[in-house]
Chains A and B, each alone.
Chain A
């Protein structure tokens, strides 16, 4: 059962919102309902979040992602649709039920930290527990544990304004962790931090997540952040979810031109994994074969070396033709002595960025193995370079290089940015019409 599911969520601002929702539900497009004057923040959002998953909602500001996340914990009431958490419909809860849900099931981390400036770090971390009327001793203990999880021991008695941005957000994270809710909502949690700190916080979140296995719904406008954190990513545009999938799926198979253009300047070497570019290993020999047989096979396949595996395909090493020849001339029956037992290997889920080093150090293709060291495939250097070349080709038509952020900060240059410029245009129009923070991304 999924931890949280949204079904046909709509949020429409404006006087004729009911009418707009009804028309959208019966198939009208966003353009068709525009004359009604309402602002559509979220339209027909449907998704399931699995327990223990980091589900990222990615979109530019104004795409409705902040509105969406606020409907999940009932801060904003949906115009239509349902949010199910633990089998309960959030939209149908009364204020008391909502408060209970927020105390026990869903906590939240905010973009600008939202700490109490007049309370110490410890008191802030314990805030959720104080709301629940947990006794003081337990409160302090749990808050301390949460603070040490985020690396803030020794800062308990400081005030938030004495902390740097990254540390403030760690307090925000500790506050959510101390509440011990299974679900955490993170609204642009790292967007206000500078890139290096943001990177550090992302690592910390992933590290914490590997231990705690929370269900996290993470909102961001930064595609690289989405790709780094998300088990699955929902791409939003103008209130609609245009694609849901893993980072790789979105990169390899974008649902439409918008997504395709949006993702093209992401640093693919940090998203694509070894398994997506590996090729079948051609010259593979079983370790019980003799050197003579191995040499013959190499000759037939015109190869200089072979991968040596056991019968159940566990990688034992590599062997070069001259080594096999030497074994034959010394009259050996087995290959053990001439085997290179430390071949360059990477796991199937290794990022391409992490394949470069082993590839450079080895003259043979890099072996791709699973967690049991079974040989799955190989990545010859030419393949790796080829993959890079095609990536670079698409990148240079974009804004160039591996941009740190997929944010519409720089003026659009070239055709490739048209989609983003388009999105910015919509955003500006949205805010000009005085929409009540349609999405309120910033």
Chain B
């Protein structure tokens, strides 16, 4: 009870009611999400874990060599080999699967929303506070909500990761498109190009480095989040960390943590290199 007003705003009740209503009435949607995310995760995880680790390590190493050079390729191979030698390979691959599925979905939403926000001031002013909300709301709360809807397992972890990781993707896509030289866009209009073609031929290519920076951010945030997913039964390194915490097993915890770091560095440098390989990015660097 508030002393001054003698009344308490029952936000908790409202929220619970809204949540319950959503839970009950949107069941088909939740089922669909569970099927899609769960299925994608299972498929990818199974694939990565049926292949011999050394094959996966070599493929990732060669990819790294191709996008960044021999130093990165060699470092990546050594790091991934270390994960395998710590016997954390299977858990790492499960975590990687979760991250990839979450990031793919997050990017699939983030880029179009970012484009819409860049093109319409109305969309932008609606989206911005929503993003602020998504980024500042304690992340564990998403996990809680996701568990209540999807029950424990891998899916709530992925859903919470998507919500948590999406905002920078939207923000950077919007920024990238807004930063394109307005005169160049005007030239597109002046030569009779349609807005869709201007987007495809002018705005997106010129905004690509910034959009890639957004995707990179999505991946980094997703990696930070999947460990939390271990708390709600998400498999992979998160669960190892949790087990280490419960048993106060510092050695095991370090192993799992180190695996996350290696994975993070690999994904960060890899996507960073993809972004800076575009013609526009190289031009910007040269200028």
Chain A interface residues toward B at CB < 8 A: 73, 75, 98-104, 106-108, 110-112, 114-118, 127-128, 130-132, 159, 161, 175, 179, 185
Contact = CB atoms under 8 A, between A and B. Distances in A.
A100 B192 contact: yes
A280 to B, nearest CB: 51
Given A114-B181, A114-B184, A114-B187, A102 B279 contact: no
Contact of A118 (B190, B191, B283, B286): B283
Contacts of A114: 181, 183-184, 186-187
A73 B194 contact: no
B191 A128 contact: yes
A110 B183 contact: yes
Interface of B: 181, 183-184, 186-194, 197, 201-202, 205-206, 278-280, 283, 286-287
Contacts of B187: 108, 110, 114-115, 127
Interface of chain A, main secondary structure: mixed
Given A161-B286, A161-B287, A110 B191 contact: no
A107 B190 contact: yes
A102 B189 contact: yes
A116 B190 contact: no
Contacts of B190: 73, 75, 102, 106-108, 110, 185
B283 A159 contact: yes
A112 B183 contact: yes
A67 to B, nearest CB: 13
Given A101-B192, A114-B183, 4 more contacts: A102-B191, A107-B191, A114-B181, A161-B286
A99 B183 contact: no
A102 B184 contact: no
Contacts of A101: 192
Given A102-B190, A132-B192, A161 B181 contact: no
Contacts of A132: 192
A112 B190 CA distance: 14
Contact of B280 (A118, A130, A185): A118
Contacts of B193: 99, 131
B202 A102 contact: no
A106 B190 CA distance: 8
Contacts of B194: 99
Given A110-B186, A110-B187, A161-B286, A103 B192 contact: yes
A75 B189 contact: yes
A175 B192 CA distance: 13
A125 to B, nearest CB: 12
A107 B192 CA distance: 9
Contacts of B197: 131
Nearest to B188: A131
Given A107-B190, A161-B286, A118 B205 contact: yes
12 contacts: A75-B190, A102-B190, A103-B192, A112-B183, A114-B181, A114-B186, A115-B184, A117-B283, A118-B205, A118-B283, A127-B187, A131-B192
A379 B223 CA distance: 87
A99 B192 contact: yes
Nearest to B183: A114
Contacts of A117: 184, 206, 280, 283
Contacts of A115: 184, 187
Contacts of A179: 191
Contacts of B287: 161
A161 B285 CA distance: 12
B186 to A, nearest CB: 7
A65 to B, nearest CB: 16
Nearest to A159: B283
Nearest to B287: A161
A89 B183 CA distance: 25
Contacts of A130: 201
A31 to B, nearest CB: 32
A130 B201 CA distance: 10
B190 to A, nearest CB: 4
B121 to A, nearest CB: 14
A392 B199 CA distance: 55
Contacts of B205: 116, 118
Most A Cβ at <10 Å: residue of B189, B194, B278, B287: B189
Contact of B191 (A108, A111, A161): A108
Contacts of A107: 190-191
A108 B278 CA distance: 29
A85 B278 CA distance: 42
Contacts of B283: 117-118, 159, 161
A420 to B, nearest CB: 27
A75 B186 contact: yes
Most buried by A among B191, B202, B287: B191
A112 B280 CA distance: 18
A131 B190 CA distance: 11
B105 to A, nearest CB: 29
A408 B131 CA distance: 47
B204 to A, nearest CB: 11
Contacts of A102: 189-192
Contacts of A100: 192
A325 B191 CA distance: 71
Contacts of B192: 98-104, 128, 131-132
In the A-B complex, the 8 residue pairs with the closest CB atoms: A103-B192, A102-B192, A114-B187, A108-B190, A99-B192, A114-B183, A128-B191, A131-B193
Contacts of B286: 161
